[in-house]
Amino acid sequence: MCGIVGYIGHQKAVPVLLEGLQRLEYRGYDSAGVAILQDGKIRVEKTVGKLEALKETLEGKDLDTYVGIGHTRWATHGAPSTANAHPHMDCTGKFVIVHNGIIENYLALREELQHLGHEFKSETDTEILAHLIEQYDDGDLESTVKKALKRVDGSFALGVLDREEPNRLIAVRKDSPLVIGIGQGENFIASDIPAILKYTKKAYILNDYEMAIVTKDHVEIKTLDGEQIENKEVFEVKWDAAAAEKGGYEHFMLKEIHEQPKAIKDTLSGRLDLDNGQVVLDEVKLPVEQIKNIKKVFITACGTAYHAGLMGKYMIEDLVRVPVEVDIASEFRYRNPIIDNETLIIVVSQSGETADTLAAMREAKQKGARVVAVTNVVGSSVAREADDVIYTWAGPEIAVASTKAYTTQLIAMYLLSLYFAQVRETLSKQEIKGYLEALNQLPEQAEAALKQDEDILQLVKAYAKSENAFFLGRSLDAAVAMEGALKLKEISYIHAEAYAAGELKHGTLALITEGIPVITLATQQDVYDKTISNIKEVTARGADVIAVAFDTDTQIQKSVNHVLTIPLTEKYFTPVLSVIPLQMLAYYMAIERGCDVDKPRNLAKSVTVE
C-alpha cells in the first residue's frame, strides 16, 4: 500500500516528511517522492527504489520550506519508475498531489482530460486527479477539490497542495486510511499513525468522504458535501512505534487476516460490471479468439499459491468445460508437460519472485504456451515475464504465512474463470450476474467470518498441546483443508495432515486416536452427507471433530464437538470465507505455543532459491 505524509508548521518540512515516510516503509514501496512549496513554486523530487535514493537526491539542496507532502508508492497502475512515482502535478505546476488507492474510472477520465488538452507524464491512475483538480480550479482549493472528486469512482487517501495557497494543505479520504496529526503550531497528514508518532500522539482519524483543511495552527474537518464536522473525536495514540506499524495488532499476520475484507474489495474493484452482468478484465490482453481456442489449462504455483490454484481447476472445468491440471511448480518443470500454443498456463505467486514458479513459467513459455500471471507485486519478475497479469490488490503482505494473498488469489481465479465463461459463452449473462452479485457480498461476509475469536480461543485452550491434527474435506473443501493444514504447520509447528475425506479409509484412518483434533470443512452441499459419514468414521475412533460450516446449518452440531461458522455463499466462493477461521485458529495456536508468528523458523517470505 502507498504511504502518504504531509506537513505544515514551524519546522523545516523535508526532514519531517522523510521521517514520516521512513515510518511507513513497512507498507512496502518501490519508489518515493516529496513536493515542497518554496518561493511561490512547487518543487518535486522523486526517485525509484528506497528512501535512501530520495535522500541522496535531496542532499545539499536548498530546501528551506515549512510545508510539503511526501509519498512512498506501492505500484498498482504503471510499473515502478520515476515518472510514475508520486507526487504528481497538473499541467501548470499549480497543484501537486499524493494518493493512496485505486481510481476505477481513470481511463475514461484520462481520455476526457486529454481531449481537453491535458498532457500526462505518467501511466498512473493517480495523475488524473492532479489534472482533474486543474480542470475544476475555481480559485479556491477546498471547493476545487470537492468538485473534482465528484467525478471520481474508486478509493483515495489524498493530499493536495496549491502553490497559490501556501498556508494550507487539503486531505481527503474515501476507503483508504488517512489520519491528521495534531501538533503545537504544526499539523500533519499521514496514511497511518507511525508517520506522526515522533511529533504527536493526537490525531483525527478521517472517515470516508471527510476532508481536512489543514493550516499550521488549525484543522477544519468537513464532509465532501460541505457540512462542518464540529468536535470530532481526538484519537490519543497509546501504541509505541513498533505496535503502530501493525496498526495496533500484535502481529502483522493478525493485521493481514483482518485486512482481508478490504483486500478482497480492492481486488474486485473495477472488475465487476453488475449492471450488465459482466466481468471487466481490461488488463488481460489475451485475444478473444485465443481464449475460445484454449484446449488445456495448467495452473502452477507453490505453497499457499498452489492451494489457491486448485480452486481454479474446479471452477474452470465446471463452468468453462476446459481440462485443467494443477501442478506444484517444482514438479511441473521436470515432468515434460504436453504444451502447445492452445495451452494456457496460469502462474500464481504473491511475491512474483518464487524461483520454482518462475522456472516453471519459463519452461512453459519455451514450449509455446500463453501465460497469465496472478501476482500481488507490480513489476515483479513473474509480472514482467508473463503475457498477461491479473494483480491481487492486497497490498504488501509482511507475515511469512500467507493470508490476504491467498483469499485475493482466489478472487483472481474466480474472475478469470468467469471471464473465460463469459467469452466462451458457457454461462448466460444471468448466470454470470448471479456470480458477480455473490462476489460483491464477499467483503462484508469476510468481515462476519472474522468475528469468532472467542470460539477459536476456546479451541486453542483445548488443543494447543496436540502434536498432530487432521484437516478433512471433500471437493473444494479438500483444497481449503490443505491450506488450513499448511497454516497450522508453518506457524504453530503442530504436524497437520490434509486429506480428501473420502480417502481416509484407505490408510490414514489408522492414525486416528483418542482426542486427536480433526478439523472438517462441511460447506459443499453436494457431498455434505458423505462428509458427515466421514465425520462419524473418525469420531467412532475417538477423534474430536471441529467443523467449519455455514451459519445456516442446523444439523452439523449433532455430529461434531465444535462448529466454526461462515455466512452462506455460492459453492465456489466458500473457500474465501472458510479459510478465515482456519487462519485465525493457526494464529492463536501459534501464540499459545509461544511461536514466532510473523517469522516462523526455517521459512522465508519469498523463496527465491530452488
Residues forming contacts to ligand AGP in the complex (CB under 6 A) are: 302-305, 349-351, 354, 357, 400-402, 490, 606-607
Nearest to 37 by CA among 61, 64, 9: 64
Q: Name the percent of the chain in helix, strand, coil, to the closest 5.
A: 40, 25, 40
Residue found under cell 493530499: 159
In one-letter notation, the amino acid at residue 329 is A
3-state secondary structure of 227: coil
Task: Judge whether 259 and 268 are in contact, CB under 8 Å.
Answer: no
Distance separating alpha carbons of residues 381 and 351, to the nearest angstrom = 9
- The three three-digit cell numbers of residue 427, written as one number: 454461462
Element containing residue 313 per DSSP (H, E): helix 303-315
CB of 495 to ligand AGP, least distance (A): 16
**DSSP sequence for 321-386:** ---EEEEEHHHHTTS-----TTEEEEEEESSS--HHHHHHHHHHHHTT-EEEEEESSTT-HHHHHS
**What's the min distance (Å) between Cβ of 177 and ligand AGP?**
25
Q: Shortest Cβ distance from residue 603 to ligand AGP (Å)?
A: 7
> Nearer Cβ to ligand AGP, position 510 or 609?
609
The CA distance from 31 to 336, in Å, is: 40
Whole-number minimum distance, CB 583 to ligand AGP, in Å?
10
CB of 367 to ligand AGP, least distance (A): 21
Q: How many CB atoms lie within 10 A of CB 108?
A: 12
Q: Measured from the CB atom, is 359 or 462 closer to ligand AGP?
A: 359
Is residue 345 within 8 Å of 370, Cβ to Cβ?
Answer: yes
Q: Is the dihedral of CA 82, 264, 571, 331 positive or negative?
A: positive
Taking the complex as a whole, the smallest distance from the CB of residue 547 to ligand AGP amounts, in Å, to 23
Of 64, 141, 60, 55, nearest to 95 by C-alpha is 141
Rounded Cα gap, residues 578 and 471, in angstroms? 12
Measured from the CB atom, the residue of 91 and 359 that comes closer to ligand AGP is: 359
CA atoms of 261 and 449, how far apart (whole Å): 10
For residue 483, the SS3 value is helix
Which residue number, 97 or 400, has a Cβ lying nearer to ligand AGP?
A: 400
List residues with catalytic annotation: 2, 605
252's CB contacts (< 8 A; 6+ apart) are 26, 246, 398, 399, 598
Closest to ligand AGP by CB, 183 vs 600, is 600
Q: How far is the CB of 309 from ligand AGP (least distance, A)?
A: 10
Write down how long the chain is.
610
Residue of minimal CB distance from ligand AGP?
303
- Specify the residue, 23 or 307, whose C-beta has the smaller distance to ligand AGP: 307
What gap in Å lies between CA 92 and CA 82, rounded to an integer?
Answer: 19
The residue (of 155 and 304) whose beta carbon lies closer to ligand AGP is 304
* H/E run at residue 325: strand 324-328
Q: Cell numbers 501459534 correspond to what residue?
A: 590
Q: Which residue from 173, 34, 157 is spatially nearest to 96, judged by alpha carbons? A: 34
Which residues is 96 bridged to in the sheet?
Answer: 89, 161
Residues 397/407, Cβ–Cβ less than 8 Å? no
Q: How far is the CB of 584 from ligand AGP (least distance, A)?
A: 14
Give the nearest distance from C-beta 575 to ligand AGP in angstroms. Answer: 15
Instruction: Mention every residue, 6+ apart, whose C-beta is less than 8 A from residue 233.
Output: 204
Number of Cβ atoms within 10 Å of the Cβ of 228 = 8
Q: Among residues 72 and 349, whose Cβ is nearest to ligand AGP?
A: 349
* Nearer of residues 43 and 487 to ligand AGP, judged by Cβ: 487
